[in-house]
Structure 1
Amino acid sequence: MEQLKVHNSLKPGPPVPFVPREEGKVSWYVCGPTVYDHSHLGHARNYVSTDIIRRIMLEYFGYKVKFVMNITDVDDKIILKARRQRLLELEKSKTYSEPELSKLAATAFESYAKGNLPELLNSSDGSELSPNNYIARRDAAYGKVLAGSTLTGEGKPGDAEAKMKMHLANLTAATKAIQEKKIFGGADEILLPYLDSLYKESIDGKDHTIFTDVTKYWEDDFMEDMDALNVMRPDVITRVTTYVPKIAVFVEQIIKKGFAYESDGSVYFDIAAFEKAGNPYARLRPESRNDKALQEEGEGSLSKNVGGKRGAGDFALWKKSKAGEPVWPSPWGEGRPGWHIECSVMASDVLGSQMDIHSGGIDLAFPHHDNELAQSEAYFCEHGKPHNWVNYFLHMGHLSIAGSKMSKSLKNFQTIKDALKKDYTPRGVRVVFLLGRWNDGVEISPDMRTMAEGWESTVNNFFVNVKSLLAEAGAGADIKSLSLNGSAHGLQEILEKSQAEMRAALSDSFDTPRAMRVLSELISQSNIHINTHKLDIDIRGLESIARWITKIVGIFGLDANASPPYDGLGWASSASNSKLTAKEIVEPYSAVYEKVTAEVKQLNLHSEVLDRLIGVDVDAEFSTLSSSGTKDPEVLAMPYLRTVSKIRDELRKLAPSSPAKKQILSLSDRIRDVDLTLLGVYLDDRTDDQGALIKFIPKEELLAQKEEKAAKEREKAAAKEAQRLAREKEELAKAEKAKVSPADMFRDERFSAWDEEGMPTKTKEGEDVPKSALKKLKKEWDRQKKAHDEWKAKSGV
């Protein structure tokens, strides 16, 4: 059996064997969200990909996984968001005169530009920036960026240009709001940082509800998004604000071991001391250890240019709180936890001094995860002996858009809610990520979505076809109770080969793109079998294949309505309503049956086959199914649908030789295109010997297909009409031209003399017409004479 191997960021290169600390069990910590705004597709990329791996480990490889996730509910971004939101609310409650409010907005406008887009302040005439001259200055200073280029015009745009666009968008919106005197609401993005600079010291840092009320709201919002994407809830959720006392104790221990120091109320990790003791730092991203921008980002926007550090790369374990920041007591005075320390403390508290897996987005590798490793290994090391805190680090590739990482700070994101409302289904999002490697980047593009839709459609159509063939073969039996096992035509051999390839793919560091290709190729071979063995289809082999594919897509989380061990067939239906009785569920189908049989009787076609079909006791067949306890609409409806389908098959056979041909064909089309379509049933017409195949397809999809077909017909008719009108116009033009006598066709300003037939002899300058030109003109004259003579003959002139 294949050995599971994984890409481990701690050991760059090919996948390495996965060997958990305890056989059959996996301890796993994942960095959860910082909750202060809507979750976007970048978050979906991280947590859906993580969920896919977790499901594969649980349900394919059979590990018992303890999955822990933290919620960051206090950090610099949250502090700014909550504090500014509170200050804006207070500002809106004040009474302002119109001039005072305009002055506030103008000052905030200039302050925002100065802090984020200084090029706007440059002016050849020395005038100050204002909403009135902003647009002209914006286009002059940042036109290249707005056009999709870089500020210098060289290279490709990246995060810097994305940030510029964000700030420009904020100022543009503020300009409009100020000019329309709708400042609150329209100019909030520029007011927030300005009000913060004025009043942040008025915020009581001991009142944690200012911050936790915001994070509780956004945590619930995040969880809603994860539920919508069918992401399993963690086994354990930890929150920073409930761990602050333990964090302080953890930091104290690191200080006692000589790997951290206090400076002016803050505590910093001492990288030099840690390395001097024989411990490696920046194990994940050694090339980034001196990246000042990443170091500052890791420390947070509220901690820039902090003094008192022994080394430039030393990072905060505990931060002395400044005015307007939340505070907790500590041995070093009032303060708050550093960003990185939270994960070390929470993960270790739940999972102990070692864990199998730690995961998160690739952008967290440095400094967050490298700092986590250092401080945790400093805490747990004994007698100078290095400690291994994490065995496997998994980093999910980020999602990018137009070359930039999708992020909240750049505001170049699409929220999960908007994506699910406008562009994707939850299954579609998951398919997109399955089609790419979990540790590779994904670029948002129309091609990516089209590819995912095509894959999903292929699988869905296969399930529909196999279920229809099984229902047909089962003569009304519940397809879940069929024990069909066989291997005719080599389908069993094909399935076993695919199963081995699936094992190899998932064992190779969860290679889901390869796994998805395995499923596609298996379906392709199955469809070839269906199309080439119409009269001797291996129903048993197809069922085995469809059930195995069902299990795999269930493991991949592609069916929110299914649950382990995924032993059904196809996407689980959410249409059945357990509150309804079997008779109520089947009522729409029986109504169509009654309607069709009544109309067929009125046709008086004198067909033994039709008489026999109409005489079938479908209610008795339904009662047998109902007594089994099933609530599956597809199963319960089959007696009625099968009879209606066979009646329609017979009508189509009788139509060509019947005096009632027109009525029969009209009824036949209506049954398929209206009656059954509205029930979410499609009749796939085959040869007369086989009859139509009953397929359950969502009504919305059938109606969409019907409208698409009608639209194409309308388009075709419109094109045909346009061609007809063009022909008529051309014929009319030809007729008008034919009316002109050849003797008059050249009598215009181009020439000055003509012979008796109207052929030109002199140019307008009085020179003889060249012989070469005369030859060409004579051909035109001959054609016109012929057309004119035909017109005269036709018109009787």
Structure 2
Amino acid sequence: MASNIRVHNSLKPGPPVPFVPIQKGKVSWYACGPTVYDQSHLGHARNYVSTDIIRRILLHYFGFDVKFVMNFTDVDDKIIIKARRQRLLDLEKQKNYTDAETIELAKAAFRAYAQNNLPKLLEGDGELDINNYIPRRDAAYGNVLAGGTLTGEGKPGDAEAKLKMHISNMTTAVIAINGNQVFGGADEILLPYLDSLYKETIDTSDQSIFTDLTRFMEGEFTDDMDALNVLRPDVVTRVTEYVPQIAKFVEKIVEKGFAYEAEGSVYFDIAAFEKAGNTYARLRPDSRNDKALQEEGEGSLSKGLGGKRGAGDFALWKKSKPGEPYWPSKWGNGRPGWHIECSVMASDVLGSRMDLHSGGIDLAFPHHDNELAQSEAFFCEHGHEHTWVNYFLHMGHLSISGSKMSKSLKNFQTIKDALASTYTARSMRIVFLLGRWNDGVEISPDMRTQADSWESLVNNFFTNTKSLLAEAAGTSTTVNGAVKALSIGDDKAQEGLRADLEQAKKDVEEAFTNSFDTPQVLRAIAEVIRKANVHINTQKSDVDLPAVEAIARWVTKIVGILGLDANASPPYEGLGWVSAAAATNQNPAMTVKPFKAVYETVYSDARALKLPDSEIITNLLSQSPDSEFESLANSGTKDPEQLALPYLRAVAKLRDELRRLAPTASPEVKKSILNLSDRVRDFDLTNLGVYLDDRPDQPSLIKFIPAAELIAAREEKAAKEAEKARAKEEARLAREKAEEEKWEKAKVAPEEMFKSDDRYSEWDAEGLPTKMKDGSEVTKSQLKKLKKDWDRQKKAHGEYKAKFGGGAT
């Protein structure tokens, strides 16, 4: 366990500081979880995957006992608004509106939405309506829509992204209203309008309005994290399960004089806190007077709650207004403030101090600064400042076109959509690993290309190493389903790769201890793989296989620690990616069934060929790999690649020998042999995820590559061949057409070629024009050109008569 870990700590800006846990060998960690009101997006993936990477490094590289706690915020202004609005919309749909009444409702919502979000649309003569919306939109916000800023200066950011969202909502509504598809099409403008009209009519004593939404979204989030191979928390907390504890926590802060009640709400008293010698806004002191951030932290439903003494004082307990959920307290019915929930839940599980607290960078102020203040106020004794959190880790946010990816801006791609279209869990994690966890990330095409290149480098190295080991072992034995490790000897020739591996280990150790510098880890892995590949390619038949294997096993361990193999489990002592089949612990006979079926089909087809006499072929056809397979199965091996090797070797050996024999066979048998050989390689084995790498003067090398990749490559090759054939056929047809046109033209005798041209009125004995249509003489220069054309036609006509016979037409 390393004692020299350094970590970026938001409480101490600057270079990484030494990481010293409260209790040796143990790490207590609280992570701010999601507010569960909508689908999770790539911004959430960035936060929680990066958190997971650090957690895995602490667990599986440094060997810490990590207690990881995460909350679900299941009561919050955003949740209340979304759940309440959806209920109101559902009720509105049940009303017996005529089409005209529905349109009028939508138009009223349209005008209200513009007034609240796009006031520039209201400028100008007359009232805004759906007919003049487009020209007003373009006049007021055309610069923003074109990619500029509202002020005309600088680069677009969150403000412009929000404007684009509102414009999009209104444009969609206009289309929906014109198409008489208000419900479903214009929901984004209807929802806030209905809320403004009827929010106080909702009976919030039935909290299922809110819990139905949060429980569903919590399940969706958990499914997304599972799909991304994010370890589940050791402890999960929910705000709604802690409301009595929260009320008691707030009471104690009030008793200590650091909070006060006002009009049914309770606020933290920053002035009293600082007067007692404590520091407020320790994470972001420059933001403590940022009114916009303060208002965002209080939530949009806090407007109208009065009685605050200081502008920056924040709510610990909010008086519930009509249309909001509520719980009893000594101050009346209310609900927790946003910040207090984490203080109570984290402290309940981890106590009065913790090692790590983490979340997205956007939580630093006011959320985490307020958490710190209220927790330190709760735990401090006799005016002495209390340390609640030792290290704050803030994950850099993910941006798109210069703006933070955000649900509120609706500029996001959901995790589900991303995994269904452009990413795998591994490729997404690699993208995040390419950046420092505490830096912002904007995913670019170059970054995706870099990630794909790195993944391909590792994939190919694993494939090639396992293939070389299987070839060298002949009948490879295994340990726990993985290729049994060869021993690295002391031969001088091996020192190069051994030294390269030791350097890579040192580089990764330094990277992990340097605030979990994953970009450097990926570079170290890529460098040692490149050196191993150079060795393999230059040494050919004299490869230092034990050293190559040692590198592959070390890489397997590190990528396992980074969470890049969802099927692998610590301590990651195998070689290469673990297949899904191996992870399911399937019966060996079932695992190998498709490979055995190919073997039996190929051997049966080979026996049916009228082959030239060959003792080697005869011996191969008389042998069976069943006993080798049974030996592997009895040894406890579950790795499908290892179990399949006996049958694949048999097929590869037979195919190699058939190809060697083909030149001595009759033309008909030779064709059958080559057809069988191609079918085995391109279809039988490709469909099973097996590639035979044909090598001159050496046996074919068996490589395991995902079937989808091989099939895609085969289809791409077939498509290219089809395109080549199509182009060849088009060229042939064009040549035939040109040839046909050539002879059709040559068919005309030179004496007749100009007589059908209505530009001329008289011709000489050879058919050359002498007068133009208007009676004027053909000029000498014109006649000279016409004579050249006549001479060419005479030659062509002569060739025509020689080829086809016959006279002039």
Q: Same fold (TM over 0.5)?
A: yes
1:129 corresponds in structure 2 to: 129
Listed as ranges, the matches of 1:280-319 within 5 Å are: 280-304=279-303, 306-319=305-318
User: Matches of 1:299 and 1:786 in 2, distance apart?
Assistant: 95
Give the secondary structure class of the aligned counterpart of 1:385. Answer: coil
The one-letter code of the counterpart of 1:113 is A
Contact map agreement 2:568 2:577 (CA 8 A) in 1: yes
TM-superposed CA distance for 1:758, in Å, is 11
Alignment-derived partner of residue 322 in structure 2: 323
Amino acid paired to 2:701: L
Shift in Å, 1:362:
0.5
Number of the residue aligned with 1:665: 674
Task: Describe how 1:126-275 pairs up with structure 2 within 5 A.
Answer: 126-130=126-130, 132-275=131-274
CA distance in 2 between partners of 1:287 and 1:717 (Å):
68
1:29 is paired with a residue whose SS is strand
Native 8 Å contact 1:684 1:692 kept in 2: yes
Query: Cα distance, 1:484 vs. partner?
Result: 0.7
1:54-100 superposed Cα distances (whole Å, 9 cap, x missing partner): 00000001111111111111111011011112222222222223333
* 1:96 corresponding residue in structure 2: 97
Match runs of 1:627-646 below 5 Å: 627-646=634-653
Counterparts of 2:418 and 2:129, CA distance in 1: 37
Name the CA distance, whole Å, in 2 between partners of 1:2 and 1:263. 49
Shift of 1:138: 2.6
Matched AA of 1:94: K
Residue 67 of structure 1 corresponds to which residue in structure 2? 68
Query: 1:412-452: CA deviations, max 9, x gaps?
Result: 11111111111111111111111111111111333332322
In structure 2, what is the equivalent of residue 564 of structure 1?
570
Q: 2:104 and 2:53 mapped to 1: Cα distance?
A: 53
SS in 1 for 2:712: helix
- The 1:748/1:254 distance shift into structure 2, 3 A limit, reads farther
Q: Would the aligned equivalents of 2:483 and 2:574 in 1 still touch at CA under 8 Å? A: no
Q: Does 1:704 align with 2:731?
A: no
Indicate the residue corresponding to 1:763 in structure 2.
none
Report the alpha carbon displacement of residue 718 of structure 1 after superposing the two structures with TM. 4.2
Q: Distance in 1 between matches of 2:303 and 2:447?
A: 39
Query: Which runs of no fewer than 5 residues in structure 1 stay unpaired?
Result: 750-755, 761-765
Q: Is 1:496 the equivalent of 2:502?
A: yes
Q: Hey, what does 1:715 align to over in structure 2?
A: 723
Q: 1:523 aligns with which of 498, 523, 529?
A: 529
CA shift, 1:792, in A, is 5.5
Q: 1:725 to 1:66 in 2, by over 3 A?
A: same
Relative to structure 1, the CA distance from residue 428 to residue 578 in structure 2 (aligned partners, 3 Å threshold; closer, same or farther) is closer
Alpha-carbon contact 1:474-1:482 (below 8 Å) kept: no
Match of 2:804 in 1: none
1:619-667 residue CA offsets vs partner (Å, 9 max, x unmatched): 2222222222333322222111101101111111122232232222111
Among 587, 606, 614, the alignment partner of 1:607 is 614
Q: Aligned equivalents of 1:581 and 1:392: distance in 2? A: 48
Q: Identify the residue that residue 53 of structure 2 maps to in structure 1.
A: 52
- Give the superposition deviation at 1:367: 0.9
Match of 2:538 among 524, 529, 532: 532
Rounded to whole Å, the distance in 2 between the matches of 1:388 and 1:9 is 14
Deviations 1:139-192 (A, max 9, x none): 333333233223344432211121122112222222222223222222222111
Number of positions where the alignment pairs a residue of Structure 1 with one of Structure 2:
781
Q: Does structure 1 retain, via aligned residues, the 8 Å contact 2:37–2:82?
A: yes
* TM-superposition CA deviations, 1:101-160 (whole Å, max 9, x none): 222222122111211112222343x14423x33334333333332332233444322111
Q: How far 1:721 sits from its partner (Å)?
A: 5.2
Cα distance change of structure 1 residues 613 and 320 upon mapping to structure 2, 3 Å threshold: same
Q: What displacement does 1:34 show? A: 0.3
Structure 1 residue 392: Cα displacement = 0.8
Matched, 1:43 2:44: yes
Match of 1:470, as an amino acid? L
- 1:789 is displaced (CA, Å) by 6.8
Whether the 8 Å CA contact 2:743–2:800 is kept in 1: the answer is no
Residue 674 in structure 1 maps to residue 683 in structure 2? yes
Q: Relative to 1, partners in 2 of residues 1:256 and 1:581: Cα closer, same or farther, differing over 3 Å? A: closer
* Cα separation, 2, equivalents of 1:342 and 1:107: 38
SS for the counterpart of 1:283 is: coil
In 1, distance between residues paired with 2:799 and 2:188? 78
For 1:2 and 1:525, how far apart are their aligned partners in 2? 31
Which position in structure 2 is the counterpart of 1:482? 484
Is the partner of 1:452 in helix, strand or coil? helix
State the alpha-carbon separation in 1 of the partners of residues 783 and 21 from structure 2: 95
Unaligned runs of 5+ in 2: 760-765, 771-775, 802-807
Equivalent in 609, 621, 624 of residue 628 of structure 2 = 621
Aligned-pair CA distance for 1:705: 0.7
Displacement of 1:2 in angstroms is 7.6
**Closer, same or farther: CA 581–275 of 1 in aligned 2, 3 Å:** closer
Cα distance change, pair 741–12 in 1 and its aligned pair in 2 (3 A): farther
Q: Residues 637 and 309 from structure 1, CA distance in 2 versus in 1: closer, same or farther, beyond 3 angstroms?
A: same
Residues 121 and 129, structure 1, Cα contact 8 Å, conserved in 2: no
Report how far residue 461 of structure 1 moved.
1.4
Give the equivalent residue in structure 1 for 2:588: 582
2:656 to 633, 649, 653: 649
Distance in 2, Cα, partners of 1:496 & 1:530:
18
CA contact (8 A) 1:120 1:129 kept: no
C-alpha distance in 2 between matches for 1:759 and 1:279: 111
Aligned to 1:753: none
Q: 1:219 to 1:578 in 2, by over 3 A?
A: closer
SS at match of 1:685: strand
Pick closer, same or farther for the CA change 1:577–1:436 going to 2, 3 Å.
Answer: closer
**Distance in 1 between residues matched to 2:76 and 2:37, nearest whole Å:** 10
Alpha carbons of 1:577 and 1:528: their partners in 2 closer, same or farther (altered >3 Å)?
closer
Mark the CA change 1:296 to 1:471 in structure 2 (over 3 Å): closer, same or farther.
same
Contact 1:35–1:71 (Cα < 8 Å) also in 2: yes
Instruction: Report the AA paired with residue 74 of structure 2.
Output: D
Q: Check whether the contact 2:581–2:591 (CA below 8 A) recurs between aligned residues.
A: no
Show the counterpart of 1:372.
Answer: 371
Conserved in 2, the CA contact under 8 Å of 1:206 and 1:328? no
Matches within 5 A, 1:327-346: 327-346=326-345
Q: Report the CA distance shift for 1:578/1:26 in structure 2 as closer, same or farther (over 3 A).
A: closer
Give the C-alpha shift of residue 477 in structure 1.
Answer: 2.6
Matches within 5 A, 1:763-778: none
Number of the residue aligned with 1:752: none
- CA RMSD of superposed structures (Å): 3.1
Identity between Structure 1 and Structure 2 (%): 66
In structure 2, do the counterparts of structure 1 residues 435 and 734 end up closer, same or farther at CA, with 3 Å as the change threshold?
A: farther
Q: CA deviation at 1:516?
A: 0.7
In the TM superposition, what is the alpha-carbon distance from 1:234 to its structure 2 partner? Answer: 0.6
User: How far apart, in 2, do the equivalents of 1:183 and 1:740 lie?
Assistant: 76
Indicate how the Cα distance of structure 1 residues 580 and 207 shifts in structure 2: closer, same or farther if over 3 A, else same.
Answer: closer
Secondary structure at the counterpart of residue 207 of structure 1: coil
Q: CA 1:270–1:693 in 2, change beyond 3 Å: closer, same or farther?
A: same
Could you tell which deviates more after superposition, 269-278 or 672-681?
Answer: 269-278
**Shift of residue 719 of structure 1?**
4.6
- The answer on whether the counterparts of 2:485 and 2:549 sit within 8 Å (CA) in structure 1 is no
Instruction: Tell me: CA distance 1:399–1:726, structure 2 relative to 1, closer, same or farther (3 Å).
Output: farther
Write out per-residue CA displacement over residues 364-415 of structure 1, whole angstroms, 9 at most, x where no aligned residue.
1111111111111122222222222111111101111111111000001111
